[in-house]
Every structure is written in C-alpha cells, then in structure tokens.
C-alpha cells in the first residue's frame, strides 16, 4: 500500500523505490509489477512501464480481463502514441 499512497501524494520516486523493493521481495507476485508500472508511468517512463505491465501479465495472464489492467493499458497506449507522434 506504500506505493499507492506515495503515488497519491505525488512522490513518484518513493513509489518506485517501494515497488522495486516489493518486486525484489516477491518477484512472482504480479501486483508488485503492476505497482512498479504505475510508478514508472507516473514518472513518464512509458516504455519501462510497458515492460513492468508485460511482466505482470506473464506472471498472471488472467489479469488481461481485469478492468483496471485494461484501463492501465489504454492510458499507456495513449501516452506512447503521443510520445511517438511528437518525436
């Protein structure tokens, strides 16, 4: 919950540190990778966020059906399109 709380107050670096620690402790837990992706997304690191979301999906393919996962992917796609079109 630390990662989510830090994101809520805008502490993206702290959120990423929490998520990195969580993935170190529980590398096979998809939620850790989702939180890491959320932190990276908030920092504007869209390709790294995409990698984190892909790792979560590899660990648990059923999350593909989750509304929150679909929303994450949609926001990420929008950002990736805007970044690539502005380059």
Domains and CATH numbers, the chain: 2-86 (1.25.40.10)
Q: Which two tokens stand for residue 29?
A: 């837990």
**Rounded to two decimals, what is the model's pTM?**
0.90
Which CB contacts under 8 angstroms, 24+ apart, belong to 41-47?
A: 41/72, 41/75, 41/76, 41/79, 42/7, 42/12, 42/15, 43/12, 43/13, 43/16, 46/76, 46/79, 46/80, 46/83, 47/80
**Torsion over CA: 70, 76, 82, 85 (sign):** negative
- For 46-67, what is each residue's pLDDT tens digit? 999 999 999 999 999 999 999 9
- Confidence band (pLDDT; 50, 70, 90) for 1? low
């Amino acid at each position: 919950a630390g990662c989510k709380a830090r994101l809520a107050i805008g502490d993206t670096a702290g959120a990423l540190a929490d998520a990195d620690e969580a993935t170190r402790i529980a590398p096979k837990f998809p939620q850790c990778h989702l939180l890491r992706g959320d932190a990276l997304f908030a920092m504007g690191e869209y390709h790294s966020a995409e990698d984190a979301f892909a790792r979560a999906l590899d660990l648990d393919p059923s999350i593909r059906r989750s509304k929150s996962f679909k929303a994450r992917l949609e926001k990420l796609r929008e950002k990736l399109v805007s970044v690539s079109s502005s380059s």
